[in-house]
């Protein structure tokens, strides 16, 4: 079922204006009175993450208000979406970022939330239809133009999305690149945005619950991509976690938040954060898409007319 489209209106204008004004105020506060700001305020203001998390939170909530009871997403999907958006905001636009710049394992927790945990929850919620009711139709129409449709179709190919995600995740783990990003706030902001963008692209592609005719690739192809991408990631994460060499000496220079945790222990914990939870989510792709296959086949069964007098002997999925 295609969600109805709504044009940009006064409510959208007011929401965007409020977010822009709030962003300006918070940005100025971060620049001129950073010591007076509470923990919930940004340590370093990142306008794209600040604006996009708030506006897409607003548009999703607005889409829910425009959704009838029959099409309302389940409660767990709504919780997943808002939890994913909130987690991205918290690790990037609160003083958690200060902690992430003073312990390697907290930095990995931040980056995995931006590139894996938050995007996974958003994709798992599959907010496509709800967002379509909340996002202005003019913005949705932009994605149908050839100038954007063709690049998006290329990026949405599972292997391409996987390569981008692996490359973006691993490049920031190179010690020299990590050091450069930690001492350069604009580059650090670019890292956060790149992790978020690549994570959303990858998880929205591999967790797409639609059949091949709508998603563009088969369930099996998406399952294989989502699962197999785990192995190069494990190789990199295990190298970091199990090494006895301190690759990331920036945290010694800036001062560690928890001096009782040695550099090697810090690196071990950080490597494990990048190793085990993402691997579990890569495995979860199999179960999520198997369930999508089951639901799609059940729907096809319900929609297939049964001739008068015919008797159903076997169902395709359950074998009953």
- Looking at residue 284, its pLDDT comes to 96
Give the pLDDT score at 310. Answer: 61
Residue 18 lies in a domain: yes
Closest CA to 51 of 27, 30, 35: 27
Q: Which domain holds residue 183?
A: 10-301
Closest to 264 measured CA to CA, from 239, 285, 279, 243 = 243
Instruction: Compute the average pLDDT of residues 235-244.
Output: 95
Q: For position 60, what pLDDT does the model report?
A: 97
Question: Cβ neighbours of residue 117 under 8 Å, at least 6 residues apart?
Answer: 84, 87, 277, 281
What's the rounded Cα separation, in Å, for the pair 234 and 264? 18
Quote the pLDDT of residue 298: 82
Q: Is residue 310 part of a domain?
A: no
Q: Please state the domain count of the chain.
A: 1
Per the domain annotation, does 278 fall within a domain?
yes
Residue 177: count of CB within 10 angstroms of its CB: 14
pLDDT of residue 319: 45
Distance CA 256, CA 13 (A): 44
| 308 occurs within a structural domain | no
Looking at residue 75, its pLDDT comes to 96
pLDDT in tens, 122-170: 999 999 999 999 999 999 888 888 888 889 899 999 999 999 999 999 9
> How far lies 303's CA from each of 55, 110, 230, 297, 298, in Å?
37, 45, 37, 10, 9
For 4-21, what is the mean pLDDT?
Answer: 93
- Residues 268-313 have pLDDT tens digits of 999 999 999 999 999 999 999 999 999 888 877 777 676 666 665 5
pLDDT, average across residues 244-254? 90
In a domain, 251, yes or no: yes
315 belongs to a structural domain? no
Report if residue 312 sits inside a domain: no
5 domain-assigned: no
First-to-last alpha carbon distance for the chain, in angstroms, is: 29
Return the pLDDT at 315.
Answer: 53
The model scores a pTM over 0.85: yes
pLDDT of residue 320: 44
């Amino acid at each position: 079922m295609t969600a109805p489209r709504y044009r940009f209106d006064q409510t959208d204008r007011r929401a965007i204006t409020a977010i822009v004004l709030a962003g300006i105020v918070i940005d100025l506060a971060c620049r001129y009175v950073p010591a007076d700001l509470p923990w919930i305020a940004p340590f370093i203001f990142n306008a794209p993450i600040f604006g996009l998390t708030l506006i897409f939170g607003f548009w999703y909530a607005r889409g829910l208000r425009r959704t009838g009871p029959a099409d309302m997403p389940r409660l767990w999907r709504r919780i997943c979406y808002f939890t994913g958006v909130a987690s991205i905001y918290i690790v990037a636009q609160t003083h958690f970022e200060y902690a992430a710049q003073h312990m390697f394992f907290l930095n990995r927790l931040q980056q995995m939330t931006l590139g894996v945990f938050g995007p996974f929850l958003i994709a798992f919620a599959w907010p496509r239809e709800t967002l379509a009711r909340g996002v202005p139709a003019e913005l949705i129409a932009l994605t149908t133009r050839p100038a954007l449709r063709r690049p998006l179709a290329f990026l949405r190919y599972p292997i391409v999305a996987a390569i981008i995600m692996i490359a973006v995740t691993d490049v920031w783990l190179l010690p020299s690149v990590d050091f450069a990003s930690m001492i350069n706030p604009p580059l650090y902001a670019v890292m956060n945005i790149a992790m978020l963008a690549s994570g959303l692209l990858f998880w929205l592609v591999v967790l797409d619950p639609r059949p091949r005719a709508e998603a563009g690739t088969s369930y099996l192809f998406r399952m294989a991509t989502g699962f197999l991408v785990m192995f190069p990631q494990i190789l990199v994460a295990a190298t970091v976690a199990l090494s006895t060499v301190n690759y990331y000496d920036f945290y010694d220079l800036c001062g560690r938040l928890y001096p009782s945790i040695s550099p090697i222990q810090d690196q071990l914990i950080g490597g494990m954060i990048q190793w085990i939870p993402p691997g579990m989510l890569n495995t979860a792709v199999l179960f999520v898409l198997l369930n999508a296959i089951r639901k799609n086949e059940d729907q096809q069964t319900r929609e297939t007319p049964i001739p008068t007098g015919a008797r159903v002997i076997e169902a395709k999925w359950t074998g009953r």
